[in-house]
A and B are shown apart, each in its own frame.
Chain A
Amino acid sequence: MPSGSILGNAVPRLEDPDLLTGAARFVADLAPPGLAHAAFVRSTMAHAAIAGIDVGGAEQAPGVIGAFTAEGLGLDPQPFFYIIPPVFGRPPLAAEVVRFVGEPLAVVVAETPAQAADAAELVEVDYEPRPALIDPEAALEPGAPLLFPANGSNLASEYSSKAEPGALGGHDLVVSGRFVNQRVAAAPIEPTAVLVEPGAGGDDGGVTVWCTSQTPFGARDAVAAALGLDPGRVRAIAPAVGGGFGAKAAPYPEFVVTAWLARRLGRPVKWVETRSENLVNMVHGRDYVQYYELGLTRDGDFRWLRARATANVGAYPAVGAFLPSFTMSMASGPYQIPAVDFHASGAVTTTTPLGAFRGAGRPEATAAIERIVDLAAAELDMDPVELRRRNLLSPDQFPYETPTGAVMDCGDYQRALDQALETAGYDDLRAEQRRRRLRGDPKLMGVGVSVYVEVTGGLSQEYGSVEVTADGTVVARAGTSSHGQGHATSFTQLVGEVLGVPPDRVRVVHSDTFEVPRGIGTIASRSLQIAGSAVFKTAHEVLERARRIAAHRLEASVEDIVTADDGSGLTVAGVPARAMSWPELAAASTGGDLPDGMAPGELAAEIDFDQGAATYPFGAHVAVVEVDSETGDARLVRHVAVDDCGRILNPMLVRGQVHGGITQGAAQALYEQVLYDEDGNPRTANFADYCLPGPTEVPAYETAHTETPTPLNPLGAKGIGESGTIGSLPAVQSAVIDALSPLGIRHLDMPYTPEKVWRAITESAPSPA
């Protein structure tokens, strides 16, 4: 970046003053006049035919405006994610069959939230129970009860990448393992909420949908499709959104139902999920069973990988059914493995639908490859770092096409690993570990190392525009939708960098489908690299138009026109008095006196930027844990992360993304798991039973970055939203196993709860003679 650039600096976030003072408005905080409140009646059975629903009692309850079932709504089943085959369509309210505990099957609207909730309890549902199906492997067995009989099986999706015949050879030994990547809940601190007002702009027949969404355009399209409206009549707005992590990427049936209610009643209607609803209703993440085999030589050279995975995609295939494709593309990780044979199946079960969540398919790939590499190191009695070094791809191999078809842009994995080991003091850690083991320390110390590569920005196109308005304010628009990432700040930095304007002269507009013409949204760590590049490029286009105008009006050469130091406009280099302000330039742009060949028009540019391919961030993490050998209690005591997301625009924003990600990965390794009983009843439907990590569960983090710019976009940036999670989980997992390794323990499935670890220790101990 040029000297004097604000790019690369830790600029405080423009979003924060409102959030810090309580002034920011989240969906649940909105209360327009005449507001009615919805409460959903949810299935208490994992799988049942609906014999009848009686809303009569609810209709008579105090304050109730209406109570409706699928029959009253008359809405067709919807895919809720564009690639889902129609056979798996989901009715916005369950009509004939319920397929998971928590599935909405009726809705009550009342004057107050309490009245709606009380009345919802009066709705009586007559169920005819059907068998629950929790285990995805069992769901694919012949004879398993079918969730969607018309599909003929419970198979929802399938991804395969076959090795050439005979390619799985050349090895001296094969290590293998079965790894469960358990189901976790996204659990953003803000649950799902939606407020729908009748009317959109001046269109009385439209609707305005305020929703907790990472993809307002997706919410718009879902509501429009379900209600049979043109998308242009639905205005979707995501105001302040309290965390999404992928789980707010796809629209929810409640959006559609609430929109229907608002139109039907002619009143604004709001629904806010409770936490206990959230933990069964919002999409879950992970839930893979993986069988991995790695063929390698005695010297530790990887020859081939065979991977089989079954994803539990839940009751209605959604984004989760598509995620095994990410797992497939990242199956070989950062390693050179000549042959890979991959097959993944997505199975429907009577559980909450699976969606995108913090890493979405990549943590599953990384955890499995790192686990099998650790098993190989143990088998060869080789330091796990040494084995990794032998097999990492080297920088001169890029662009590199993996055997499963990913074309990776660039990387220097060795450098990231070296830096992580140095920061951690890896050799000293191993020495300390040896000393502690020798003296029989009852606190077992473990060190885990991971190297990862992941994929971001695969949906490679996004809308962006920049406009200098009449008063000189620069408006940047983007099709992405920030929910904690700080886009207002980073996009303002980009505009300021190009046009030289101070932050208070820039307005970033996003998350409103009437203010931005089109877009995809904030998913898969794509926003800065793609939308940011769109803003950056259009800012340059605006600058070039403005410079030509200024050169023409100031009678100077275009090359001599530069941005004014005070941000007021453009000036002739070295002659600050010969200048045009941004309002003057905006006015001139639409006027008659323009350079030859330039048509009058707004001082603005827009683009659908397409970087054409995905980018591949990478890094290395080192985790240190201590395990109480008597109770099995495992604690993360240090975590070192070196991440490479290409060029860094604002290190403060990057650090935040990384820290949160590390915490999520560590939490999955140590604490988090969604559980069902055998009848499909959720056992983790509140925050006492579903353990999120608090500030005392994690240490201060030691983070650093290498910067390997991607050639695919003008910023050189890759995504950073999910890297922390992808890198930390295998490191923490490895550290716990490493702590237990003197007992002969080579693998345990997560989470490493005290009892699970204690049990492993107990079962490994030689029985008393």
Chain B
Amino acid sequence: MLAPMKYAAPATVEEARALLAADGGARVFAGATDLIPQIRAGRPEPSMMIDLKRIDRLSGIARAGSTWTIGAATPTADIVAHAGFAAEFPGLAEASGLIGSDQIQNRCTWGGNLVNASPAADTPPALIVNDAKAVIASAGGERTVAAAEVATGPGATCLGADEIIVEFTLASPPPRTADAYLRLIPRTEMDIAVVGAAARVTLAPDGAVTAAAVALGAVAPTVVRVPDAEAALIGGPLTDDALEAVAQAASAACRPIDDKRGTVAYRRRVAGVLARRAVAIAADRAAADQRGASS
């Protein structure tokens, strides 16, 4: 046994919020792949675990028009396996498929990955370059915030004590647009990122970059956007010089710390390398994107 805790599996968001409001020591969870090891290590010590997986609205992947809605408790394995979604967001699918093992991906969720607020989490950079929005159930109803605004520091979020992320929304990318996510870890699988880099690129038919987004994980308390890299790309073709400018901008944008996974100098360097490579992969995918061919 981990600790003396109550367990609840509410069927609605309202019930879950009521349980949270009534017990200050309660924690919501879906996959608990971060939370259970934390509890085992002694922190936190919840009085109650509120299982969100029995709430219908929190699980599932749907597209209505050009808007995708993904339940906050949907296992990332389902996202990886969803061919339609992965075709539009290959980088976000990659990030979702890099968290731990198959065992972990059958449990872990975007919602959990975001609210655990580890600086090294894999999906937030990829959510952020795709301008994902989190729909949050609050006392006053619901509010929508950018995924980029959810984590405010290591282990800290913008969520109030009785708030729950219900779902994420994403707009289908425009034609000739694609994303990519890369990370560096000591092994091939299972490790926590030393650096993660997500990129999204939109190309004009002539190959010029018309829109770009670059975001880095594990190099600052929260995910870092790299506007200088984006500016270096937009308006021109994807030249080696432009890619080098991306690398330099990414390295410059880092505010890393020395820790057991990497030093400041190394993280800066790798952030540049991975940002450059991620942009190149995203651009290749965008160029190959057939969705825009008929429009």
Using a CB–CB cutoff of 8 Å, the interface residues on chain A facing chain B are: 112-114, 276, 630-631, 633, 635, 671, 675, 683, 688-689, 691, 693-694, 696-697, 753-755, 758-759, 762
Contact = CB atoms under 8 A, between A and B. Distances in A.
Contact of B187 (A114, A630, A671, A755): A671
Contacts of B270: 631, 754, 758
B273 A630 contact: yes
B188 A696 contact: yes
A693 B192 contact: no
Q: Which of A114, A754, A762 has the most CB atoms of chain B within a 10 A radius of its CB?
A: A754
27 contacts: A112-B1, A113-B1, A630-B273, A631-B184, A631-B273, A633-B184, A671-B186, A671-B187, A688-B191, A689-B260, A691-B186, A691-B187, A691-B191, A693-B187, A694-B189, A694-B190, A696-B188, A696-B189, A697-B187, A754-B186, A754-B194, A755-B194, A755-B262, A755-B266, A758-B266, A759-B266, A762-B269
Contacts of A758: 266, 269-270
Interface string B240-277: 00000000000000000000101100100110011000
A755 B263 contact: yes
Contacts, number: 46
Contact of A688 (B192, B262, B263): B192
Nearest to B191: A691
A697 B186 CA distance: 10
A463 to B, nearest CB: 43
Interface residues of B, number: 19
A544 B266 CA distance: 71
Contacts of B273: 630-631
A481 B91 CA distance: 51
Interface of B: 1, 41, 184, 186-192, 194, 260, 262-263, 266, 269-270, 273-274
A696 B187 contact: yes
A691 B190 CA distance: 9
B265 to A, nearest CB: 8
B268 to A, nearest CB: 11
Contacts of A754: 184, 186, 194, 266, 270
A506 to B, nearest CB: 39
A635 B186 CA distance: 10
Contacts of B188: 635, 694, 696-697
A189 to B, nearest CB: 15
Contacts of B191: 688, 691
A15 to B, nearest CB: 26
A276 B186 CA distance: 21
A113 B3 CA distance: 11
Contacts of A112: 1
A114 B194 contact: no
A630 B274 CA distance: 10
A691 B192 CA distance: 11
Nearest to A675: B260
Nearest to A274: B40
A588 B260 CA distance: 71
Given A691-B187, A697-B188, A758-B269, A683 B260 contact: yes
Nearest to A683: B260
Contacts of A113: 1
Contacts of B274: 631
B275 to A, nearest CB: 12
B262 to A, nearest CB: 6
Nearest to B260: A683
Contacts of A671: 186-187
A440 B281 CA distance: 21
Contacts of B189: 694, 696
A734 B186 CA distance: 19
Contacts of B184: 631, 633, 754
A141 to B, nearest CB: 28
Nearest to A113: B1
A754 B189 CA distance: 14
A688 B1 CA distance: 21
B187 A694 contact: yes
Nearest to B192: A688
A609 to B, nearest CB: 44
A517 to B, nearest CB: 43
A665 B263 CA distance: 26
Q: Which of A113, A631, A688, A759 has the most CB atoms of chain B within a 10 A radius of its CB?
A: A631
Contacts of B262: 755
Given A694-B188, A694-B189, A754-B194, 19 more contacts: A113-B1, A630-B273, A631-B270, A631-B273, A631-B274, A633-B184, A675-B260, A683-B260, A688-B191, A691-B186, A691-B187, A694-B187, A696-B188, A697-B187, A697-B188, A754-B186, A754-B266, A755-B194, A755-B262
Q: Which of B41, B186, B194, B274 has the most CB atoms of chain A within a 10 A radius of its CB?
A: B186
A443 B58 CA distance: 44
Contacts of A633: 184
A377 B196 CA distance: 40
Nearest to A752: B186
Nearest to B1: A114
Contacts of B187: 671, 691, 693-694, 696-697
